[in-house]
Structure 1
Amino acid sequence: MKRLRSSPERAAAATLWLALATAVAGAAEPATGASDGPMPDAAALYATHCAACHGETRLGGQGPALLPVSLGRLKPADIARTIANGRAATQMPAFADSLDKGEIAALAAFVGKPPAVTPAWTEADIRASRILHPAPAATEPVFDADPLNLFVVVEAGDHHVSILDGDRFTTLARFPSRYALHGGPKFTPDGRFVFFGSRDGWISKYDLWTLTTVAEVRAGINMRNIALSADGRWIAAANYLPGTLVLLSAETLEPVRIFEAGDARKAPSRVSAVYQAPDRNSFIAALKDVPEIWEIATDPAAAPVFTGLVHNYEKGMAEALPASAGLFALRRIAVEEPVDDFFFDRGYRHLLGAARDGGRALVVNLNVGRTVATVPMPGMPHLGAGIGFTWQERRVIAAPHLSEGRISIIDTADWSVVKTIETAGPGFFLRSHEDTPYIWADAMMSKASDGMQIIDKRTLEVVRVLKPAPGKIAAHTEFDRSGRHALVSVWDADGALVVYDAATLEERTRLPMRKPVGKYNVFNKIRFSEGTSH
């Protein structure tokens, strides 16, 4: 974090970041209290040691933003530990020898507090941030692997992405990523391009045929996730900071529309999440701080098809959306409470959404624009990681809970909970595939985090527990395009991808990886496999 003067030094600092405390477990712990003598000037320390990489206003530059909303739940002691000891397997240096304990503590406290002025990120800022990379022309992939059976693997241990051949399980490319990629990259309908979104607001466009990054843009300061329209033309970025929904051209990454997030009465909000609704030719977004869901047309012909009824706040009734609304028409749907994340039924007629700290989920009929049912779901439901499948000739949704060891199975015909599967502990991800009889569920939020639970979709019972690496977290399964193999992540700095035969549940091979937090199969993603999330 010291000021870097030469070009090589600046290049080496391009990936500076503050890491989670767990990434430096066991390292020496500096004192976080001030040393004897005058109180260090934290702002001056930041200007001297941090601003060159992280920006004078802490919004980021070559390094990520250093703001509370970007640092998440890190405490000053966690931040101080990383400043003092650096970060293994990255270019974050250690400062224990150049800064005393009081200075380190002052810096940690400084970056952990909100700035005096709320930072902004305007359309001009977005345009100025855009980076175009020279890319080779190609009419076909530069490799002989199946381009639709590739896996994109996000390795958080050293902030890289690997491109994996899903037939041979060999690595075709590996490249550095932006800080803290969100777990859901998005693919163009033909599978050629993939878009990554980082918590720091960066969107990167990568050509899977030539194995090169072709463009980047910063759409916000703290971004929750991104979505790609059904026709592959538009990208939506959901921002916490500033509270905006940004629409960009998928071809050029230029901004085309910015929505200031808030309800019809102008109460501001963060944007919780945005997903594509392909059957509706629209984006669906949830607002974190106000009870409202948005639908935005991604095709001029889609606006009238909303059939929709837009909520009229003054009259308390609904009114038809004007047929002339056209591309990016915004439709507001009032709900009883804010929604954090959500899942769709087949056909995208209904949205099942919930707040993480709530005890229920709302069923919103998107055609009529109102809540039509509620589902009891205590224990912080994680609907964004849900899956859909057919059970006993019923279409159901399965969703894990983040604070309770259970999986809720919900019938989408009457929105009743038909089964609660008790698990070894709270989990985060569910995955399956059309051609497998099993659901793979982790318990990564519990003491049993090293176990992957195999659930029979016919009986809805746990039939086996796999332990890819005893004592290490097992999480996030993804299948190859055929459903014959299931890949499980060992979430560790010295982690791995473990490849299982999806029928026999026997291990086939494993590939060393640096904390592979997620992996995504091109074919399953572009065809919206029933066993994967959006």
Structure 2
Amino acid sequence: LRPKALKKKEAYMLADTILNGREGTAMPSWKHMFSKDDAAGMVQWLMDWKNTVELKLSLDDVHKTWKQLANRSELYKKYPHPTDVKDVKDITFATERDASLVDFIDSTNGKVLSRHKAGFAVHVTVTNKRMPRYAYSISRSGRLTMFDLNAPGQPALASVQVGQESRGLAVSPDGKYVMAGNYNPGGAVLCDAKTLEPLKVYPTSSVIDPDGSIGPSRVAFIADTPYAPYFVFALKDGGHVYIVDYSKPDFPIVGDVPNIGKILHDAFENEGKQIGRFVYVASQGSDLMGVIDLKTRTLAAKVYTGPGTKPHPGQGSSWYNKDYGQLNATNSMNVGDVVIWDMDNEAVANVPTAGGGLFVGTSKDTPYIWSDCVLGGPDNYNKVYLINKQTLKTDRIIEVGKKEGHLIDAHTGKVLQKWDATQYTRVTPKATHSKISKEDLVPYTAKLGKKV
């Protein structure tokens, strides 16, 4: 809802979005509450907004919001081992975006261990690899929260309001620091990973964009890397990437990589040899993946994904292929196409899917790259393509409906499996106050409402 961006839109289209929502996004329909005149009035008010105040990121302002919700030291001594699971690495994190909840689930049996209020539209949840008992979440409303996975109920230990609107989150491999990124006020915040105390801010309220203009920039992805003691984050509107060295006093910016492209968004790193040396950055305004070499702290190459594709790798994919060596992949929001390239930054395959998507992922335990089609329209949004990591062809398609789901052989079209996918209305239990932490919990209930 930025006036400059809104003024580039047609007012009638914005009013229609208010009334009818927007497919493939979190924007619902409001026509049951607002009339056409109501929607037109809101659009006019937003487009003619006069009182715009450019917020600037301040360490003092952020530090004032830092709260200790439980005694970390006492819990550390009292619960040296996990209480709700055998291994905290078996805990899966799930975000209920619209409900503003973080869920912790025992992946060995599917049991929901706890559900926590963690700010509006929780966006990312990550773990501390050096100290895996600690996990962190960032909400789009700017709340950064830290949890203790060893203690019963996985209580929240601390929180801090890093901004008004936030997105990215990363934890340093040495377990000492966590960094969060803001859309508003633009910038990144570095915190102590044991206490969540804010240590430094990196404002991006005045940067040079790809057109040479000076203005504010949102911060898109934030990444840690095993290659060097760096945090890497993208200036979404600025078109360049900052590299922060957290091993040095005062955590300086030691690299500034410009001219990557317009509207930077997601990023991921290479696996295999020299893991984490290369950062692949999606430029959605220039339809490419920029390749950042952390050894030289320069832009090594650009991999073009095609006109109008708008690449969106999500967590991205990097894996070993017996013919090409290490490969990498992204999908795109506007086109059903998974682009695959090698370590020479040459595209080696384009795998068609049923529509645009947001995530492409894999792991060492699956023979597939998994790519969604959530932006593929009403006939395709519920499909996930399973692309063979060696043949680079689609082998399976998962199709989920409201009543049943299918696993389909992509070569023959044969349905290999059927699943009951019946959905039910949500039964929301009342929130209760934690006995360990200063937070409200929302218990999980197995009770089902009416069938949808």
1:342 aligns with 2:288: no
**Contact 1:450–1:470 (Cα < 8 Å) also in 2:** no
Name stretches of at least 5 consecutive residues in structure 1 with no aligned partner.
1-65, 88-93, 301-325, 475-485, 487-503, 515-534
Q: CA deviation at 1:78?
A: 5.6
Matches within 5 A, 1:135-150: 135=71, 137=75, 138-150=79-91
- Please name the residue that 1:51 is paired with: none
Equivalent residue, structure 2, for 1:371: 299
Which structure 2 residues correspond to residues 248-259 of structure 1 after superposition, within 5 A?
Answer: 248-259=191-202
Is 2:312 the counterpart of 1:395?
no
Aligned match of 1:132: 68
CA gap of 1:354–1:283, structure 2 versus 1, over 3 A, is same
**Cα–Cα, structure 1 residues 363 and 340, in superposed 2: closer, same or farther, change >3 Å?**
same
1:420 match: 350
Q: Is the 8 A contact 1:204 1:217 kept in 2?
A: yes
Aligned Cα RMSD in Å? 3.8
Measured in 2, the distance between the counterparts of 1:175 and 1:142 equals 18
1:192-341 to structure 2, matched below 5 A, reads 192-210=133-151, 211-261=154-204, 262-263=206-207, 267-268=214-215, 269-300=217-248, 326-338=249-261, 339-341=264-266
| Distance in structure 2 (CA, Å) of the matches to 1:270 and 1:436 | 35
The amino acid that maps onto 2:310 is M
Q: 1:509 to 1:172 in 2, by over 3 A?
A: farther
Query: What is the CA–CA distance in structure 1 between the aligned matches of 2:144 and 2:405, rounded to whole Å?
Result: 28
Residues 337/67 of structure 1: CA separation in 2 closer, same or farther (3 Å cut): closer
- C-alpha displacement of 1:297: 1.0
SS of residue matched to 2:63: helix
Q: Which structure dedicates a bigger proportion of its chain to helix?
A: 1
Residue 427 of structure 1 and its aligned partner are, at CA, apart by 1.4
Could you tell me which residue of structure 2 aligns to residue 31 of structure 1? none
Compute the TM-score of the two structures, normalised by the length of structure 1. Answer: 0.63
Equivalent in the alignment of 1:430: 360
Shift of 1:353: 2.1
- Within 2, Cα distance between the matches of 1:203 and 1:331? 25
Tell me the percent identity: 23
Deviation at 1:108, TM superposition (A): 7.3
1:246 Cα deviation (Å)?
1.4
Aligned-pair CA distance for 1:359 = 2.8
Residues in 1 aligned to 2:403 and 2:332: alpha-carbon distance in whole angstroms: 22
Q: Matches of 2:35 and 2:280 in 1, distance apart?
A: 52
Mean Cα deviation higher: 217-226 or 360-369: 360-369
**Residue identity matched to 1:200:** S
The alpha carbon displacement at 1:114 in A equals 6.9
Contact 2:283 2:290 (8 Å CA) reproduced: no
Give the AA of the match of 2:160.
Answer: V
Distance 2:20 2:423 in 1: 31
- Look up the match of 1:409: 340
Q: Give yes or no for contact 2:265–2:312 (8 Å, CA) kept in 1.
A: no
Question: Residues 81, 226 of structure 1: CA spacing in aligned structure 2 closer, same or farther, 3 A cutoff?
Answer: same
1:40 maps to which residue?
A: none
**1:342/1:162 CA distance change after superposition, 3 Å:** closer
Matched, 1:454 2:386: yes
Contact (CA 8 Å) 2:243, 2:254: kept in 1 or not? yes
8 Å CA contact retained: 2:94, 2:103: yes
State the alpha-carbon separation in 1 of the partners of residues 17 and 352 from structure 2: 34
SS of equivalent to 1:458: coil
Offset, 1:292: 2.6
* 2: CA distance, partners of 1:508 / 1:192: 35
Structure 2 gaps of 5+ residues are: 408-415, 427-452
How has the CA–CA distance of structure 1 residues 238 and 157 changed in structure 2, closer, same or farther, with 3 Å as cutoff?
Answer: closer
- 3-state DSSP class of the match of 1:191? coil
Report the Cα offset of residue 259 of structure 1: 1.6
Match 2:121 to one of 180, 198, 218:
180
Correspondence 1:20-35 to 2 at 5 A:
none
Do the aligned residues in 1 keep the contact of 2:133 with 2:148 (CA within 8 Å)? yes
- Cα offset for 1:144? 3.7
Equivalent position amino acid for 1:152 in 2: F
TM-score by length of 2: 0.74
SS in 2 for 1:124: helix
Residue 372 of structure 1: how far off its partner (Å): 2.7
